[in-house]
Structure 1
Amino acid sequence: MTVATERPTRFASLNPATGEVVAEHPVHDAEAVAAAVARAREAGRWWRGLGAKERRLRLLNVKGSLTRNLNRMAETIHQETGKPLADAQLETILAITHLDWAARNAAKVLGRRTVFPGLMALNQKCELEYQPLGVVGVIGPWNYPIFTPMGSIAYALAAGNAVVFKPSEFTPGVGVLLAEIIDAVVPEHPVFQVVTGLGETGAALASSPDIDKIAFTGSGPTAKRVMAACAQNLTPLVAECGGKDVAIIDSDADLEAAADAALWGAMANAGQTCIGVERIYVVEDVYDAFLATLTARAEKLRPGFDREAAYGPITMPKQLDIIERHIADALEHGGRAVVGGPESVRKPYVEPVVLVDVPETSAAVCEETFGPTITVHRVRDMDEAVEKTNATTYGLAGAVFSGNKARALDAARRIRSGMTSINAFGTFASVAALPFGGVGESGFGRIHGADGLREFARAKAVTRQRFALPLNPSSFGRTEKEMARLVQLVNMMHGRRYK
């Protein structure tokens, strides 16, 4: 006999450092998601009708309110992720700067403009504008629960869309607080709504026939499931997935600065960063000196939930198994731990782990670890570093450290990724004018910047005939003589050879 079990109607978000319940939230089912999308459809029509100037004003006021609630938001992030309060504050500040940029630049990027028609259509007045899609669904991650989804939320709202946001089940309170802040500034219609729940809630959002686009951040396997759900209705998707990002250390790099930046990139947020440094390739001339500097710094780091801790716990419990497996695999295949080791996994924390002599085929090198571990590799030169950097299915970001500008730029451009920083870690993420996104298994599409605004709009082209041309080839009344003149004209314009 089969016993029917009721689906839970509420779930708890937990502090991963203490296991204590932070808050309880409703599990929104498919019917609740559909109702939210329907409300968003109506709200989106009102939001679009306000016009760019009024939307700009309201979003700037949302930014102001979020700024005044910065510490409240940071505390919520701190409680739900376990990351240090200062890191949560920094994350919120970055979200604020992106909201500001999107609000201030949407009209300029998306507004109507004229386009030169070319000699063949001189009688046409040509205009191009970018119109709102309607309703955008955003499925957010837990590791940066305000900054990462804001890269979609702010830009979608600024482009004139309504947004339905499904935060991670590990950080629902961040989304609920953001909705509270936006509702207070824009009370007339629910242009921003939050639906909370587990995977089924996100699946209902992705498979909704009334969603015009989904913005997803998460793992590659989950992205594939979201894509399958979107495919049912040909719903377009922008996906920001994982990475196996690299720091390359040139022979003339400032080793102290490079070690400091690379270590932050590897260990900040307990290594739970999609653009985090997971591999370091060091030119052999400075390998030993760099490794000594890196390990000396890494040994001083301590995880915890107190204010003095360098970083917090592993937010998602099952990630601990992956971290343990990667460390074990590296050691089994000849790698050595020069900082930490298997004993560094002290649930829910992982102490810093620095691995060397790890084969390129090891899981610790090939797969995303998402923990405070790093592999350091000796390479012959920058060419070998770039070659090994690109020997992966991922392609999100990376960093190059070098005292030679030309060599650094050359390496940065050859790295197969969406973003690369030189002599710093991840600075592109803080520059709101730059696009953010990856290639390969790191996803597709772009958030942030002008590309991010256009990601949540549809291009609309309009032509208007100003006067009739003496020759009209798109008519059944055309003559052979007129076509001969047209062919002659095209040959004059386009038929010459170029040297």
Structure 2
Amino acid sequence: MTFDSLSPLDGRVVGTFPVHDGDDVGAAVARARQGARGWRIQGFRGRRRVLDAWRRDIVAHLDELIAVVRAETGKPVGDARLEIMLALDHLSWAAGHAERTLRRRRVRAGLLMLNQSASLGYLPYGVVGVIGPWNYPVFTPMGSLAYALAAGNAVVFKPSEYTPAVGDWLRRSFVRAGGAPEVFEIVTGFGDTGAALCRAGVDKVAFTGSTATGKRVMAACAETLTPVVIEAGGKDALLVDADADIEAAADAAVWGAYSNAGQTCIGIERVYAHTLVYDRVVHAISERVRELRAGTDDAARLGPLTMPRQADVVREHIADALASGGVLREGALVETGQTLAPVLLVDVPESSSAVREETFGPTLVVNRVASMDEAVAKANAVRYGLSGAVFSRRRGRALAERLRGGMIAINSVISFAAVPSLPFGGVGDSGFGRIHGADGLREFAYAKAITRQRFRLLTLTTMRRTPRVDALVQRIIRLLYG
């Protein structure tokens, strides 16, 4: 059984791929299990050589990958290029920092165990299943693929059914660069294929996608106590303080809201502007929104939505915002199709789905607040906790600390995703666990502690312990901790 990957640009078939069933997935995991042994034996430096070669191969065939990303997602060429650049930076960082982050190191044993030598190291799980999204089909899964591989695992990658050609391209590039095929396996298909991967005996699953699907992944993995890292949705807010640089805040809001046609988990969907600058903020954003045009041609700044049914969600949220009293400041409600005009909504009630639920499309809600305390309270009032942004000259750090989320940018948006040393992830319905950075490397390895007795001292762990020793322990407790 096969399925076609259709381009949202023109409906053409980008490629035809197999629908892998449980047996196919199990076979892929078995092959990866064999590959994991040799991959681990290569050590950090051997793996780095392969990953560096993979990075160079991607660069050598950059235009080819850009074309595949554009064909399957519909995003503009410039956005595809930027996504790949960020992915390359993370691939380079993971390969270059794995050894110093995960290698075994000595730790202090403490006074009580001064006769013990203690060390801590991080070992690969073995085989990691990666379930990727369609909105950033290179950058987002690379946050799991690169870090899992650098940590010494083999991977089995299940790309989204909307972007299987991108996943297949990445795997072929890895093999072309000298990586063993069984170290990077790929399975394609729909939800059942992803569920089969969760149950196929992998040692960990890294999932990126909607909160609802993330819960189903967790439920499947719970059957075998397979650990998971979940990077789910968001409803991120940008706060504009009274002393903010209005023009910079407007630029950031428009980029955060409308880049990739709003299909960004860490994108900006809400703006809370202080009443003293609210009108200026709305005016500045409106000017910039009017400069944007959605289309399928090369000159369009926004492409079509990748997933057809997501357009219906966007339309529902816009309609609900207007029905509940919100005002359509810019754009129009497009009744059909996947190519949606950028929409700016103002004065939308906080109870509206456009404020509370992830829209994942080219919309932005800008609401007025009387104070930054009110802004923080409203920003934190949703069930998501992924990321956010603050524009303020004096109180940026203080406000950022109060926002609920795993990543906050001050006087910029989404900048944390481009810093490879920073962990990426959220709380609440945005998921848990981290990719990127040292935390991301450790996410794909388990801690292993080792002690070695260097010389005999007072032995407490014996059934022949005497009353005299117990009395000595009593004195030690009072001396050290009293």
Which range, TM-score by smaller chain? over 0.9
Aligned counterpart, 2:464: 477
Q: What do you get for the CA RMSD once the two structures are aligned? A: 0.9
Aligned counterpart, 1:422: 410
**Are residues 1:290 and 2:281 paired?**
yes
After superposition, give the CA deviation of every residue in 1:135-169 in whole Å (9 maximum; x if it has no partner): 00000000000000000000000000000000000
Instruction: Report the AA paired with residue 352 of structure 1.
Output: P
SS in 2 for 1:120: coil
Aligned positions of 1:191-340 closer than 5 A: 191-208=183-200, 210-340=201-331
Instruction: Report the AA paired with residue 455 of structure 1.
Output: E
Instruction: Note the C-alpha offset of 1:186.
Output: 2.7
Aligned counterpart, 1:380: 370
After superposition, give the CA deviation of every residue in 1:14-45 in whole Å (9 maximum; x if it has no partner): 11121111111111111111110000000001
Aligned positions of 1:7-406 closer than 5 A: 9-208=1-200, 210-342=201-333, 344-404=334-394
Q: Is the 8 A contact 1:254 1:402 kept in 2?
A: yes
Instruction: Note the C-alpha offset of 1:307.
Output: 2.1
Q: Is the 8 A contact 2:73 2:306 kept in 1?
A: yes
After superposition, give the CA deviation of every residue in 1:292-333 in whole Å (9 maximum; x if it has no partner): 010011011001122211110011111111111111111111
Instruction: Report the AA paired with residue 392 of structure 1.
Output: V
Aligned counterpart, 1:6: none
Q: Which of 435, 439, 451 in structure 2 is aligned with 1:447?
A: 435
Q: 1:177 to 1:123 in 2, by over 3 A?
A: same
Q: Is the 8 A contact 1:320 1:345 kept in 2?
A: no
Give me the whole-angstrom Cα distance separating, in 2, the residues matched to 1:233 and 1:478. Answer: 41
Aligned counterpart, 2:477: 490
SS in 2 for 1:63: helix
Percent of aligned pairs with the same amino acid: 55
Aligned counterpart, 1:4: none
Give me the whole-angstrom Cα distance separating, in 2, the residues matched to 1:487 and 1:311. Answer: 72
Name which of structure 1's ranges 381-390 and 482-491 shifts more when overlaid on structure 2: 482-491
Give me the whole-angstrom Cα distance separating, in 2, the residues matched to 1:159 and 1:408. Answer: 35
Count of residues paired in the alignment: 482
Give me the whole-angstrom Cα distance separating, in 2, the residues matched to 1:262 and 1:427. Answer: 13
Q: Which of 409, 412, 419 in structure 1 is aligned with 2:400?
A: 412
SS in 1 for 2:52: helix
**Are residues 1:432 and 2:429 paired?**
no
SS in 1 for 2:16: strand
Q: Is the 8 A contact 1:345 1:351 kept in 2?
A: no
Q: Is the 8 A contact 1:327 1:341 kept in 2?
A: no
Instruction: Report the AA paired with residue 11 of structure 2.
Output: G
SS in 1 for 2:384: coil
Give me the whole-angstrom Cα distance separating, in 1, the residues matched to 2:180 and 2:130. Answer: 21
Give me the whole-angstrom Cα distance separating, in 1, the residues matched to 2:169 and 2:286. Answer: 40
Give me the whole-angstrom Cα distance separating, in 1, the residues matched to 2:180 and 2:206. Answer: 25
Give me the whole-angstrom Cα distance separating, in 1, the residues matched to 2:123 and 2:89. Answer: 24
Q: Is the 8 A contact 1:216 1:237 kept in 2?
A: yes
Q: Is the 8 A contact 2:15 2:165 kept in 1?
A: yes
Give me the whole-angstrom Cα distance separating, in 2, the residues matched to 1:271 and 1:60. Answer: 32
Aligned counterpart, 2:449: 461
Give me the whole-angstrom Cα distance separating, in 2, the residues matched to 1:417 and 1:187. Answer: 37
Give me the whole-angstrom Cα distance separating, in 2, the residues matched to 1:458 and 1:19. Answer: 44
Give me the whole-angstrom Cα distance separating, in 2, the residues matched to 1:465 and 1:434. Answer: 37
Instruction: Report the AA paired with residue 267 of structure 1.
Output: Y
Instruction: Note the C-alpha offset of 1:494.
Output: 1.1
Instruction: Note the C-alpha offset of 1:56.
Output: 1.0
Give me the whole-angstrom Cα distance separating, in 2, the residues matched to 1:182 and 1:302. Answer: 36
Instruction: Report the AA paired with residue 23 of structure 1.
Output: G
Give me the whole-angstrom Cα distance separating, in 2, the residues matched to 1:189 and 1:483. Answer: 59
Name which of structure 1's ranges 248-257 and 188-197 shifts more when overlaid on structure 2: 188-197
Q: Is the 8 A contact 1:330 1:359 kept in 2?
A: yes
Q: Is the 8 A contact 2:53 2:178 kept in 1?
A: no
Instruction: Report the AA paired with residue 474 of structure 2.
Output: V
Give me the whole-angstrom Cα distance separating, in 1, the residues matched to 2:471 and 2:423. Answer: 47
Q: Is the 8 A contact 1:17 1:348 kept in 2?
A: no
Instruction: Report the AA paired with residue 285 of structure 2.
Output: L
After superposition, give the CA deviation of every residue in 1:40-75 in whole Å (9 maximum; x if it has no partner): 000001100111111111111111111112211111
SS in 1 for 2:278: helix
The runs of 5 or more residues in structure 2 that have no matched partner are: none
Q: 1:147 to 1:224 in 2, by over 3 A?
A: same
The runs of 5 or more residues in structure 1 that have no matched partner are: 1-8
Q: 1:345 to 1:91 in 2, by over 3 A?
A: farther
TM-score computed with the length of structure 2 as normaliser: 0.99
SS in 2 for 1:138: strand
Q: Is the 8 A contact 2:50 2:179 kept in 1?
A: no
Instruction: Note the C-alpha offset of 1:341.
Output: 3.2
Q: 1:227 to 1:188 in 2, by over 3 A?
A: closer
Name which of structure 1's ranges 444-453 and 180-189 shifts more when overlaid on structure 2: 180-189
SS in 2 for 1:324: helix
